[in-house]
Amino acid sequence: ESADKTNLGFIHAFVAAISVIIVSELGDKTFFIAAIMAMRYNRLTVLAGAMLALGLMTCLSVLFGYATTVIPRVYTYYVSTALFAIFGIRMLREGLKMSPDEGQEELEEVQAEIKKKDEELQRTKLLNGPGDVESGPGTTIPQKKWLHFISPIFVQAFTLTFLAEWGDRSQLTTIVLAAREDPYGVAVGGTVGHCLCTGLAVIGGRMIAQKISVRTVTIIGGIVFLAFAFSALFISPDSGF
């Protein structure tokens, strides 16, 4: 019975984490960063840098959330439920107020930020030589495979993604989830959710970035958050992991 309860706790946490990460990250700033960088540079390098940043952020968020379990569960459970309700209502309000082309502003902001980083990268290239700088997916400069993971592009993808994710809704959501659900389920579900979104951005690039309706995703996200808050009316705090 104890093993079944643990498995159910893991599955519930996994489903909750992957659901809220997907609705929070699709059309988010980190999504656009991966999409735009993947059009300019080696996709594997961009994906590796972005996923390392998101994986690290997920683990840190889970640790922050799990640290609150020293507080009696009944308090963290209902506080987290209230936060889910607040997030859900805010997302619904934001989504209903958005124009259908709201995501274009975010896309343009990310493009300007990456352009600025590109200029800094070019200045570094002129000063230090072109030996380890990737010029794009079609480059013919011979490189060892391991250099893809310590290149300036990898560092740029990691840094931009990590800074964009810090304090983001998905980070706060991961912390809240880890405070009330199985932390391993939250960590795995959150990481898988980030993998799916970032992988989609890297593969689809600008085309998918332009097709996604940030307004629709935000409204759906608000509904998902409210659904998790509403579920607390039927699930006892003691039924967790």
> Considering the chain, what percentage of its residues have pLDDT values greater than 90?
15
pLDDT tens-digit series, residues 140-178:
444 455 444 478 889 888 998 898 888 788 888 888 888
Helix 43-67, helix 29-40: angle, nearest 10: 160
Per-residue model confidence (pLDDT) at position 113: 77
Helix 103-128, helix 152-165: angle, nearest 10: 140
Cα separation, 55 vs 110, in Å, equals: 21
3-class state of residue 216 by DSSP: helix
Per-residue model confidence (pLDDT) at position 125: 67
Q: Name residues whose C-beta falls within 8 Å of residue 17's C-beta, 6 or more positions apart in sequence.
A: 174, 177, 181, 185, 186, 187, 188, 189, 190, 193
pLDDT tens-digit series, residues 17-50:
999 898 888 877 888 888 888 888 888 898 999 9
Task: Return mean pLDDT, the chain.
Answer: 78
> Considering the chain, what percentage of its residues have pLDDT values greater than 70?
77
Between residues 186 and 2, the one the model is more confident about: 186
Cα separation, 108 vs 175, in Å, equals: 29
Residue 128's CB: how many other CB atoms inside 10 A? 11
Chain CA centroid to CA 2, Å: 32
